Amino acid sequence: STYLLSRLVDCKITYESCETLASALQTPNSPLRELDLRYNDLGDRGVELLCVGLTSPLCNIQTLVLDHCKLTYESCETLASVLQTPNSPLRELDLRYNDLGDRGVELLCVGLTSPLCNIQTLV
């Protein structure tokens, strides 16, 4: 079977497109395994909308790249819930070059330490 990578790097995507992306992640039998959204202005609101799709049992995303997406600690709480989703396929998460701060890392660690978390690579 073919696995797809959606590379939407520096496409001027804002939070407004994230609801549509979340719907796409919930497509039954989707071959999409990697989603690269770096250098977009998603912000915390965009990640919140995107996470609706990421927590769906239909989502097959294994690698999520969100570097340079203007995220703050608020995104970390939402992402922590994704990391605690039962049977989540997510294995790699890239959060480089965001303003997460100590508070964000603390919130993210709630998800990372969950027995349900399957993350193997965190950047």
Residue 34, beta-bridge partner list = 5, 63
CATH topology (fold) of 4-122: 3.80.10
1 pLDDT band, cuts 50/70/90, is very low
The C-alpha atoms of residue 64 and residue 61 are separated, in whole angstroms, by 7
What is the pLDDT, as a whole number, of residue 4? 66
Q: Average per-residue pLDDT in the chain?
A: 94
Q: What is the pTM of this model?
A: 0.93
- Domain ranges (residues) in the chain: 4-122
What is the pLDDT, as a whole number, of residue 7? 85
**pLDDT tens digits for range 18-72:** 999 999 999 998 889 999 999 999 999 999 999 999 999 999 999 999 999 999 9
Helix 73-83 × helix 43-54 angle, to 10°: 0
